[in-house]
Amino acid sequence: MLLYLSEITESKVTRDVEYHIAGDELGESAEIKNVSLKVEFYRAAETICLRFFGNATVLTACDRCLADLELDMDLDETYYLFPENTPDVDYFYSGDEIELDDYVRETLVMNMPGKVLCSEDCKGLCSKCGADLNLGDCGCDRSGE
């Protein structure tokens, strides 16, 4: 999705972000669906501010027992873009448009949950036989661990 510099003024404007996630570009361990994202933009002199906010659903797995988990994720990231060749800044713009897709992707990645558990006291999988210990003890002797 492109944003034209001519559209960015000193008054804040909010717009829906159209973005389609291609395959596993966010990593293979998690999948994102139902992305609902808006971008708010304005300029202050030469600086352009982009704020992405909204929410999405992440499909991932419990770090201990590998059960499927579906998490709601709040998204909120702000970027300040400076003219090309400004020293010591992270984000630039040049030409007469800004490609928003990279910022959207980064917003999603930055907000991805790290290790998640299906519950605080998830017992995980048996290290000997792989049984899901939340369903009951498998009877293996794991005392040596």
**Contact residues: Zn ion, CB under 5 A:** 62, 64-65, 67, 118, 122, 126, 128-129, 131, 138, 140
Per DSSP, 101 falls in state H
C-beta closer to Zn ion: residue 38 or 128: 128
C-beta closer to Zn ion: residue 8 or 125: 125
What's the closest the beta carbon of residue 129 comes to Zn ion, in angstroms? 3
CB atoms within 10 A of CB 98: 23
C-beta closer to Zn ion: residue 33 or 128: 128
What's the closest the beta carbon of residue 138 comes to Zn ion, in angstroms? 3
C-beta closer to Zn ion: residue 84 or 121: 121
Backbone angles phi, psi at 36, to 5 degrees: -125, 105
Q: Which residues contact 3 (CB under 8 A, 6 or more apart)?
A: 39, 41, 50, 97, 98, 100
What's the closest the beta carbon of residue 142 comes to Zn ion, in angstroms? 7
Q: What is the CB-side half-sphere exposure of residue 14 using CA atoms within 13 A?
A: 6
Judging by DSSP bridges, how do beta strands 31-44 and 97-99 pair with one another? unpaired
What's the closest the beta carbon of residue 69 comes to Zn ion, in angstroms? 8
